[in-house]
Amino acid sequence: MSILSLNQLREGASPLAMTEALIALALEAGTAILAVYETAGAARSEAKADGSPVTEADEAAEKVILAGLAALAPEVPVVAEEAVAAGDIPPVSGPYFLVDPLDGTREFIKRNGEFTVNIALVEDGVPVLGVVLAPALGEIYWGDATGAWSGRVAGAAVVERRPIAVRRRPEGGLGVLASRSHLSEETSALIDRLPVAELLSVGSSLKLCWVAAGRADVYPRLSPTMQWDIAAGHAVLRAAGGRALAAGTREELAYRLPPVPGRDDLVNRHFIAIGDQDLIDLVA
């Protein structure tokens, strides 16, 4: 992979070049994940210090992505889940990448296919570019300054590319997404106050992508997440016309880090993702 810096992009290189490079990296990481997923050892995991599981696939995918980003944009810090778990958090003074090599490890262990590879670029507190790949489902989503897109994956290549956008608020009630593995009492209480026509459950960052693609209207998450869990999906949602509001506010969820961040700095505020902007009054 050729080296492509952010400065080169700003100086006139194709705005699609970085996006296509991250798509290629996600596909390569997805191939590494599926190589583990298709073996008898796919369900083996260890517990990290925070109690969350980690598998051989998480580590293999992150290795692929870190090597690719080091070649792609060596001057941009990379904050990656498994590296952070090992105590490796780089200094951050400008744009940075956020990497969750396998979001939905519990779904991976359950073998339901609802896990994703997530790569995002954050600038000035905003996820400006994101790629989300669900390798077992053959689905990919991405968002950047040109808009939001989805595609099918066949033979480690993206096919059937199409633009996506959030949908208008349905008159008959909302499609509301709930986490399959992390549904809190606070989230359940909020859902109970909404005019729900359909309650959907899916794992990982696919929830944000489903709102972006017009498959649902609201995804409330009133329980802890980390920046790498949601930044790529948030980028797709923003590009599709949606928002992720900090819970209890009308403000977009922001990604801010001190120059020398610690793990606690990477914990997100609770948030509510919406498609139609007219839903702000209902959820804020």
Annotated binding site: 81, 100, 102-105, 229
Environment class of residue 127 by beta-carbon count within 10 Å: exposed (0-12), middle (13-18) or buried (19+)? buried
Question: Are 50 and 82 in contact, with CB atoms under 8 Å apart?
Answer: no
Question: Are 139 and 152 in contact, with CB atoms under 8 Å apart?
Answer: yes
How many Å is the maximal CA-CA distance in the chain?
51
Q: Rg of the chain over CA atoms, in angstroms?
A: 18
User: Which residues contribute to the annotated binding site for Mg(2+)?
Assistant: 81, 100, 102-103, 229
Give the Cβ contact number of residue 282 at 10 Å: 16
Distance CA 45, CA 109 (A): 8
Question: Are 37 and 111 in contact, with CB atoms under 8 Å apart?
Answer: yes
Q: Please name the amino acid found at residue 197.
A: A
Question: For residue 188, is it left (φ>0), alpha (ψ between -120 and 50) or beta?
Answer: alpha
User: Which residues contribute to the annotated binding site for substrate?
Assistant: 81, 102-105, 229
Distance CA 253, CA 127 (A): 10
Nearest to 121 by CA among 90, 76, 160, 159: 76
